[in-house]
Amino acid sequence: MNAPPNPPAEATALTVKPGAGPPYAAIVEFPGDAVIGKTPEGVITSWSPSAEKLFGYTAAEAVGQHVQILIPPDWVHEERHILARVAQGEGVNEYETVRRRKDGSTIHVGVRLAAVKDGHGQIVGVTKIARDITARKQVEESLRASEERFRQVVESIREVFWIIDLTRDRVIYVSPSYDEIWGESPAKLYASPNHFADSIYPGDRQRYDEAVREKQLDGRFDESFRIVRPDGTLRWIHSKAYPVRNVAGAIYRIVGVADDITDRKQLEEISLRAQRLESIGLLAAGISHDLNNVLAPISMAVSLLRHKLSESGDLRLLDILEKSGERGAGLVRQILGFVHGIGGEARLVQVKHLLHDIAGIITQTFPKSIALHEKVPNDLWPVLANPTQIHQVLLNLCVNARDAMPSGGTLTLCAENCVLDAVAARAIEGAAPGAWLMLQVADTGTGISPGVLARVWEPFFTTKAAGLGTGLGLSTVRGIVATYQGFTTLQTAPGRGTIVSVYLPADLKSLAASDSTHPHPVAHGRSELILLVDDEKSIRDIAEAILVKFGYRVVTAADGAEALEIFEVQGTEIALIITDLDMPLLNGSTLAGLLRASRPALKILAMSGIASLYTRAKPCEFATAFMSKPFTVEILLKNVRELLHGPDAPVLA
């Protein structure tokens, strides 16, 4: 909006008597104001000294000329229109326009008009009062340009820019980004200055209010807090505020900027969780060696005792012991596989046995208020997978189902063979045509709301209370299934339960195969001397007993240093070194390197309970082969036999 030119008091018409002087003489002349008289047709009849100073024409040059000498071509139409209005008796008190000076330059002027009438009331001329307002217009244009630059900046950035007038306790500006971040119109802030604070999450409100009181006026306000949008979602906001002082030094405004940092906060949280997982991984790697050393003697002792026991009851106990040892070793591998991202070794699996095992866990450990139904046929197709990982998938789904039924209900374990054609596969996200084994866990629990359903597969997302869930269950399920080129579906509704279906590719080529393991044919040794090195006495004793029983001679050492002493005496007789990699004083890798330096062709079988630290292709620089702890009698003898009598290629267990 343009401000008025502020000329002298309004004049609309003058009456000129016969014999009077120039028309402008009848008007009070103000310093700097140009007074010009002209006929109704626009011919200049009088020219004041101020007009000469303003426009550059002398009175002799201007009088008698048409007023168009002062009007730029683009403004001629406006001048004609105004003169027509005056000729019709209409008053034109003031307006702003552009005029041309004698030197060709243009200036902005504020103009007032007065019609000059004779004694009969007839219009005989027009008097104009013009004031130079060029400087003011330049200031206004500069302000407009500055405001436009300000608007372009604050309306194009993603952050919210705001200004508060402390003298009126009002928000006088907030940028349009407020609508996008807060989810509501800035008009609410203009209407109520407290609306901003009212949107802050209750848990952060007290801290926010204290920061405003203590930090805002001295420019230290730099806070992160949460807001609640109208749709109920939470967003993290980072805001800074700065005081603005007037010429007297008093603070009269606060300006600030607020940015949505929700994505950054989520990444920080994931990073912190990842760091905690890394710490867990380091801890798991450290204890896995000890756990596997505990499990290794159990696994080997079972095989030895099986040859000495004959009663069916004793053999059943051995079966339980062997199964428990295998499960313990599998759990250790599972933990290491999760924290280090290592997949388990896949083999042909008949999943019905895993389902029956899960059913036993449910029966023994789940609340009695949860009824279990099994629908597991005997003719299920086998799948190529790691049984421990499939066990983890089923157990995770069952635990989720249990937690969804705090007051009890029915949990159903179901499995079936299914074939998807192209039409059926297109109807299921992630599916492909082919033969599938479908595993299903269904519950009659609380179900999942649509808002939560969109996030259930996200890592670390959980609706459980703090300390009751990690949010890794379903994401782990999907990750494991995806490694086998399978897919997962979920059906749910609030109050109507949940059904999770897992599809694994069926291995139809191996239908005749069984998932049961049979001992490898074992050939007896030829009295070869083997140096067995391990810091765990139980492993040394039982491994020695096995090797001696099957025709080998054995000498043992508790660490690498002792092994070197033995090798110096009996090195020419030793046919094979079996050494743990993780030992005090002198570890297995260093020992192997020293022994190979003296006998490059020496066969070395490395072993460790921290299999994740070594690659299968090259477990350490000097080892011929690698064997994971715990291992069975068959695996130990198979590796020894093939290293001593088989091909040079390493045989790995």
Residue 264 tokens read as: 């950054």
How many CB atoms are closer than 10 A to CB 639? 24
What span, in angstroms and rounded, lies between the C-alpha atoms of 134 and 131?
A: 9
- Give the separation between CA 632 and CA 297, rounded to whole angstroms: 9
Collapse the DSSP code of 241 into the 3-class scheme (helix H, G, I; strand E, B; otherwise coil) and give the result. Answer: strand
Residue 582 has a pLDDT of: 83
Which one-letter DSSP state was computed for residue 497? -
Q: How many CB atoms lie within 10 A of CB 615?
A: 10
- Does an H or E element contain 560, and which? helix 560-570
With H, G, I as helix, E, B as strand and everything else as coil, classify residue 77.
Answer: helix
CA–CA separation, 357 and 255 (whole Å): 65
Give all strands of the β-sheet with 498-505 in edge-to-edge order: 370-375, 409-420, 434-443, 498-505, 487-492
Q: What is the pLDDT of residue 331?
A: 63
Q: In what order do the strands lie in the sheet with 234-245?
A: 170-174, 160-165, 251-260, 234-245, 222-228
**Whole-number pLDDT of residue 332:** 66
The CA distance from 411 to 405, in Å, is 9
Instruction: Using DSSP, state whether 531 is helix, strand or coil.
Output: strand
CA distance 246 to 95: 34
List the domains of the chain with CATH numbers. 13-133 (3.30.450.20), 157-260 (3.30.450.20), 351-510 (3.30.565.10), 529-645 (3.40.50.2300)
User: Half-sphere exposure (CA, 13 Å, Cβ side) for 541?
Assistant: 8
Measured over the CA atoms of residue 90, residue 91, residue 94 and residue 99, the dihedral's sign is: positive
DSSP conformation class of 580: E
Rounded to 10 degrees, what is the CA torsion of 196, 198, 199, 202?
140
Question: Residue 104 corresponds to which tokens in the numbers above?
Answer: 């060709």
Lookup result for tokens 């694994």: 504
**Tokens 């490059």 found at:** 600
DSSP 586-642: S-HHHHHHHHHHH-TT-EEEEEES-GGGS-SS-SSTT-SEEEESS--HHHHHHHHHH
pLDDT digits (tens, 9 = 90+) for 341-383: 444 567 788 888 888 888 888 887 888 899 999 999 888 889 9
Q: What is the pLDDT of residue 573?
A: 92
Low-confidence ranges of the chain (pLDDT < 50): 1-29, 341-343, 460-461, 465-472, 512-521, 612-613, 615-618, 649-653
User: Measuring CA to CA, which residue among 570, 569, 563 is closest to residue 589?
Assistant: 563
For residue 321, the surrounding DSSP H or E stretch is: helix 312-340
Strand 553-557 relative to strand 529-533, pairing: parallel
Which amino acid is residue 156, in one-letter code?
S
Overall pTM surpassing 0.85 (yes/no): no
User: Distance between CA 392 and CA 582 in Å, rounded?
Assistant: 29
Give alpha helix (H) positions in 45-133. 49-55, 59-62, 76-87
Residue bearing tokens 């695996």 = 635
pLDDT for the residue 144: 79
Residue-level pLDDT at 219: 86
Contact between residue 495 and residue 543 where contact means Cβ atoms under 8 Å apart: no
pLDDT one-digit tens code per residue, 588-624: 888 998 998 889 889 999 988 765 445 444 456 778 8
Give the model's pLDDT for residue 9. Answer: 36
Burial (CB < 10 A; 0-12, 13-18, 19+), residue 213, is exposed
- Tokens encoding 257: 């900027």
